[in-house]
Amino acid sequence: MWYHRIIKAGPTAPEDFVSLYHRAFKEYGASALWSSRPVENPSCEDALAITRSLRVEGDLNARLLAEQIEKACRAVD
């Protein structure tokens, strides 16, 4: 079943929003972020701007990535 493909990892160091942003474009650029262009040095606002597209256009893993981006941005504030 599709839910078996979700990989649960143990506790690791949280990624920063910049690496999560670039990961989002690498993994979901064509499918979920097709209407956005990546920024070389994204701000927290740039990272937060793509989370809606990840949720609406992406799969469950894209939604989880959106949550990680939001959490990483909150950690910066």
pLDDT digits (tens, 9 = 90+) for 48-61: 999 999 999 999 99
Please report the pLDDT score of residue 15 as a whole number: 77
Please report the pLDDT score of residue 76 as a whole number: 84
Please report the pLDDT score of residue 74 as a whole number: 94
The verdict on pTM exceeding 0.85 is no
Please report the pLDDT score of residue 28 as a whole number: 94
Annotate 48-68 with b (16+ C-beta within 10 A) or e (fewer).
bebbebbeeebeeebeebbeb
Which residues of the chain are under the pLDDT cut of 50?
1, 4, 7-11
